[in-house]
Amino acid sequence: MTKKKTRILLGTKNQGKVREIKKLLRGFPIKFIDLKKFKDIPSVKENGRTYRANAGKKALTLARMTGEIVMAEDSGIEVKALGWRPGIYSARYSGRGATDVRNNAKLLRELNGLPVSKRQARYRSVVVLARAGRVLMASQGSCRGRIETELKGRNGFGYDPLFIPEGYKKTFGQLPIKIKHRISHRARALRQFKKKLIYVDFFRK
């Protein structure tokens, strides 16, 4: 008899993240379910001061609301010339109703005229797994690079058309997805996540 897969709810409404996480964890013996399966689930207010705090709050809140094991992730881009902003505010950088287009446009405006040598940046990601009021584990990853002077490429989402990872000459928006899935902040956080799952029996109630 085949053992039934344990399922984990992906605690995000960002379909770009959902697709990316599922691809990065493809083949892992877990069934991942989408938040869209739960109607009328309100958005969790991300008012923490760190990625870890925000990811933890989302995971714990959604676990309580749904009764599921929940994986939540918080991530952002940090630009050295901007004092490492926008950071945890990356998704809502351009204000109410923020979109990828508006966020990228604001970032380009704020860095206008700055030479490439002063456009250092890094992507960061923190993943938290929670169940029944308890954080079961957390992992993190980062990817250093710089910000382009204009949008390039259509792959990925968020700030990908502006971010050139260290060691490359193209943005995540231009690079093949398989490269991004090897070196990105989220890929690194999820590799650590998988390693921890092997040693932690988080399926026990």
Catalytic residues: 74
Strand (E) or helix (H) holding 164: strand 163-165
Rounded CA-CA distance 162/168 in Å is: 13
| DSSP-H helix ranges across 13-146 | 15-24, 51-66, 100-110
Q: What are phi and psi of 12, to 5 degrees?
A: -150, 145
Q: How far is CA 141 from CA 1, 13, 19, 136, 189, in A?
A: 37, 21, 18, 18, 4
164: Cα separation from own chain's centroid: 17
Rounded CA-CA distance 134/204 in Å is: 12
Of the CA atoms within 13 Å of residue 31, those in its CB half-sphere come to 7
149, 154, 157, 162: CA torsion to nearest 10: -10
